[in-house]
Amino acid sequence: MLEIWGRPYSSNVIPVIWTANELGLDYTLQLAGGSFGKLDTESYARINPNRMIPAIRDGDFALWESLAIVRYLCNQYGEGTLSPTDKQSRAIADQWMEWCASIAFPSVIQLFFATVRTQPDQRESTKIEALRDQASKALSLLDQHLSKQLYVAGNSFTMGDIPLGCVAYRYYNIEVERPALPHLEAWYQRLCLRPAYQQHVMRFFGTNPTEWQALEKASASEGVL
Ligand SMILES: N[C@@H](CCC(=O)N[C@@H](CS)C(=O)NCC(=O)O)C(=O)O
């Protein structure tokens, strides 16, 4: 059975778990990283010599790097659905996945760390406003793109929506003011209707590091330790 290594609150693991659930795959979640440890073990290094999460094992095949894993799962188990058969649509999905990794994810994760992952008395409002503006400006490009179609790679949900959908949940659930980005918001609302998104992406992540750590600890019941 497919093994997913990681922790269910990790920004890079969530896209993999969401993908596996969209595809209806049977898998076990092998808890690793953060307080679950294991990354320093020799057995983990055989799965991921880079010693980070996520990683997967699918039979004898091991793979790491979250976007490579999302692509592999979609190409292997979702050809014609999450992985478009049309090569140009697949390339567009890929393009937005790359853009997510280089632009959208770094912008939103910095905002996330400056807010939710910083104790309230240590937060810097000027820095937070600058990061919020940077994230909103980055996402305005996706807003424009989504004015022409329902999803990232056309009018069907594909792997192109997965990493960005995870970023969108963070963006819309950090307590900051956001500009109106109507097409992005409408797309996000469409994602919110998906059961696998509701279950694995739309997780309350707390409002400060103490709450976040408690939630992460409680997630031990979701996987194999
Ligand atoms: N580019 C990598 C980044 C992986 C990464 O930064 N993973 C973090 C968690 S989000 C990690 O392994 N941190 C150590 C830990 O969780 O203990 C990917 O997308 O998979």
The finding on whether 33 has its CB within 6 A of some atom of ligand 1 is yes
Domain containing 27 equals 2-80
Residue 219 included in any domain? no
In this structure, the answer to whether residues 101 and 173 fall within a common structural domain is yes
Q: Which of 5, 10, 35, 216 to mutate to test the pocket of ligand 1 (most atoms within 8 A of CB)?
A: 10
- The domain spanning residue 69 has which CATH number? 3.40.30.10
Q: Which atom of ligand 1 is nearest to the CA of 51?
A: 12
In testing the pocket of ligand 1, which one of 5, 39, 52 has its CB within 8 Å of the most ligand atoms? 52
Any ligand 1 atom below 6 A from CB of 10: yes
Ligand 1 neighbour 52 (Cβ under 6 A): yes
Q: What is the CATH number for 186?
A: 1.20.1050.10
Determine whether 160 is exposed, middle or buried from the number of CB atoms within 10 Å of its CB (0-12, 13-18, 19+): buried
Residue 75 counted as domain residue = yes
Per the structure, the count of domains in the chain is 2
pTM across the whole model = 0.97
Give pLDDT tens digits along the chain (225 positions).
999 999 999 999 999 999 999 999 999 999 999 999 999 999 999 999 999 999 999 999 999 999 999 999 999 999 999 999 999 999 999 999 999 999 999 999 999 999 999 999 999 999 999 999 999 999 999 999 999 999 999 999 999 999 999 999 999 999 999 999 999 999 999 999 999 999 999 999 999 999 999 999 999 999 998
